Amino acid sequence: MGTENLNYTQTDNVGLITINRPEALNALNSTFFHEMNTLLDEIEKSKLGALVITGTGKAFIAGADIAEMKGMSPEEAKVFSNLGKSVFNRIEQLPFPVIAAINGFALGGGMECAMCCDIRLASAKAKFGQPEVNLGLIPGFAGTQRLTRLTSMGNALYLLTTADMIKAEEAYIMGIVQKVYEPEMLMEEALKMAKNIASKGPKSVKFVKSVCREGYNLNFNDACDLESEKFSELFIDEGKEGMTAFIEKRNPKW
């Protein structure tokens, strides 16, 4: 399964999207977003336990396609911004965890794509940045909002106002990236993590993601109530099986 700019493969219950536009450093354009929407329609029908997104060549995604954006009117730019946001929101709202395996440059829209994923793993050679102000622009795909939520306000404003490009280790220190690997190990480790997540209770993993993401925007007590509600729901089936398997010293049958 795949499209002109996206390759998709699935092994058991782990999916892998590879962005395949290396001649343009995987730059994001309208075609990419429409193709991703189509691919997500199919992925949402499958019973995945986890999904990995990576890029081909030197870049994860080196930004949005400036050649396309240059001729846009303000009205067209808003449509483009909303299209990108809607696609990244769909990725963020998938019921299973999404891992970004950041193989190279993750700049502008590329960093925004990485930030909509649940977990970010980076090659030691990866570079991160939000260079929009160099073009007299700001991020258009929710980068200002996700970055402030992933790291501190100070770190976010530093990256957004200076347009500095940082290394993977710096992104790790800022909490933007969860793990950094040698380049030749990145995909092996990303797929290993995806398989590990996909081996857990599917409903419990789904609930962990939804409770964390929904609860983040609630006050503490309401978020805890949501957690308790989902915790208790698991005692109907999946939790019973998991606890029984533990006591019986066997693998659970999800």
Q: What is the pLDDT of residues 114-150, one digit of tens each?
A: 999 999 999 999 999 999 999 999 999 999 999 999 9
Determine whether domain 6-198 maps to CATH 3.40.50.2000.
no
The share of the chain scoring above pLDDT 90, in percent, equals 97
- Position 2 scores a pLDDT of 67
- Which residues face 133 on adjacent strands? none
Asked whether residue 1 carries a pLDDT value surpassing 80, the answer given is no
Residue 14 phi, psi dihedral angles, 5° rounding: -120, 125
Q: Is 10 helix (H, G, I), strand (E, B) or coil?
A: strand
The pTM (predicted TM-score) of the whole model is 0.95
Q: What is the pLDDT of residues 85-97, one digit of tens each?
A: 999 999 999 999 9
Q: What is the pLDDT of residues 150-204, one digit of tens each?
A: 999 999 999 999 999 999 999 999 999 999 999 999 999 999 999 999 999 999 9
- Confirm if 108 and 63 have CB atoms less than 8 A apart: yes
List the catalytic residues: 112, 132
Burial class (CB in 10 A: 0-12, 13-18, 19+), 94: buried
